[in-house]
Amino acid sequence: MTRPRILCLGEAMVELAPVGDGLYRRGFAGDTFNTAWHMAQILGPRADVGFVTRVGQDSLSLAFIEECRAGGLDVGAISQSAERGMGLYMIALDGVERSFHYWRGQSAARCLADEPARLARDLAGAGLVHLTGISVAILTPDARDTLRKALCAAKARGALLSFDPNLRPALWQSLDDMRAVLPDFLALADILLPGFDDEAHAWGDADPQASLARLGQFGASEIVVKNAGGAVHMAHKGQGRVVQLPPVSGIRDTTGAGDAFNAGYLAARALGHGPERAIDWGHRMAGHVLRSAGARVQPDALGADRAGWPD
């Protein structure tokens, strides 16, 4: 793709990240938003990166849209609701590991696929569309069907689909419901970016190779199984390989590391680099997030990488 158009689809939320002494920093985050943000920082003018979501009309929602715009994201596919606003989550840290408290019942993003015609317009012209299992989980059954049809239409127009299952059982009615719905989206994907811990918990996979074999049945041309700092197991056009990664030092917070990996990987692939080089980019981007607080790295924190990356 020459100057690819990349769209990430899903929910952004208000983030409260701990900064010490019972204080929190307000930001914005969400799995696909984190990926879109970091892709925009990596790619700059080399690509058009947009975010497909729905927010409110309140001051927080307006601040979110402005932050997206200032960060280089295309905001044309961010619609607004007069009745709903943005969800909120708070990060709780145990050392560097994190857990979350959510308030998202009235999130406007739950309605992002309620208007089929608008969704079709939002996806028009995309060369790559990225979404996750969370993007699907927050929708009603009818909206999921609308989304699936819109993605099929985008693929028929030539778009590639990237999907990170990002399994969050608490967002589903049950594990059985999750297991019944997700295969329809796994089968659409050209690129799968699962995390092994999630796959093991939801499907009982014994190791990353088991995840790779099971997900390979859905037909994606490339699968990259992230492994929380361990070796990445991948398959590209039926050829499997294991990629060892160097350890990351100075870890402060694991929030959003997988989303950042997705950003680096997809950015590299969008510019024509091979999967192994893309894994290196994903690892580097995840490292930036692991060494910072919260789910996103601000542009000035990328240092030399922002000026010299990608090459």
Q: Return the active site residues.
A: 259
Produce one character per residue of 192-211: b if its CB has 16 or more CB atoms within 10 Å, e if not.
bbbbbebbbebbebeebebb
